[in-house]
Chains A and B, each alone.
Chain A
Amino acid sequence: DAGITQSPRHKVTETGTPVTLRCHQTENHRYMYWYRQDPGHGLRLIHYSYGVKDTDKGEVSDGYSVSRSKTEDFLLTLESATSSQTSVYFCAISESWSSSYEQYFGPGTRLTVT
């Protein structure tokens, strides 16, 4: 398995509170991604990073921000959590943007916003 860890693995939080999810990789891959998984929607890209301090939006980025200060760490922040952000969040990594390179997924974080 690719060296990807996510923390926490489970979290319950209240509406309006800030939440930060962490993705850590030991593969030294350049690209890192945050997805959310919801029933009937598959996996949808939230944000991605193509290098330290280089990030861009995905298809469902509203309400989320990211930061990458080191190659190995990619943080996803919900500034003020809402119930619609209850989901399972997956981090992924790849060596390149190109289709020649596989995306490897982490184990996921289950977030519940009450």
Chain B
Amino acid sequence: GENVEQHPSTLSVQEGDSAVIKCTYSDSASNYFPWYKQELGKGPQLIIDIRSNVGEKKDQRIAVTLNKTAKHFSLHITETQPEDSAVYFCAARNNQGGKLIFGQGTELSVKP
């Protein structure tokens, strides 16, 4: 079955710097890769996703890149702000009845 590895587990950056979180997946049939943000005491919320027919997707300060050959995808946050502090999860899934498999999570801390 699918396995998703996420790194780093914790990340601390200064306000204004960029942050990058990386994930690798094992199932070459996976074709959907969402990223979730979880604030303290709340459920995860989708912030951006990418499908396997696209190499990069941007939404304001966040972007996701996908390398299908290497089976890894990354979340990039530019000009970080204190409100970006949260736990971020990557996930992968395929459409052949596959389930959404999550990475272990990255705790991002943005210091003012």
Contact = CB atoms under 8 A, between A and B. Distances in A.
Interface of A: 4, 40-45, 48, 58-59, 90, 92, 97-99, 102-108
Contact of A42 (B42, B49, B89): B89
8 contacts: A42-B6, A42-B102, A43-B89, A45-B100, A59-B1, A59-B101, A90-B44, A108-B41
Contact of A105 (B4, B43, B104): B43
Interface of B: 1, 4, 6, 9, 31-32, 34, 36, 41-46, 49, 51, 89, 93-95, 97, 99-105
A40 B104 contact: yes
Contacts of B31: 99
Contact of B104 (A42, A98, A104): A42
Contacts of A99: 31-32, 51, 93-95
Contacts, number: 51
A20 to B, nearest CB: 19
Contacts of B34: 102-103
Nearest to A44: B102
Instruction: Summarize A's interface: helix, strand, loop or mixed.
Output: loop
Contacts of A44: 102
Given A59-B1, A104-B46, 14 more contacts: A4-B43, A41-B104, A42-B105, A43-B89, A58-B99, A59-B99, A92-B43, A97-B97, A102-B49, A105-B36, A105-B43, A105-B44, A106-B43, A108-B43
A97 to B, nearest CB: 7
Top 5 nearest A-B pairs by Cβ distance?
A99-B32, A105-B43, A42-B102, A43-B102, A42-B104
Nearest to A42: B102
A83 B81 CA distance: 38
A59 B45 CA distance: 22
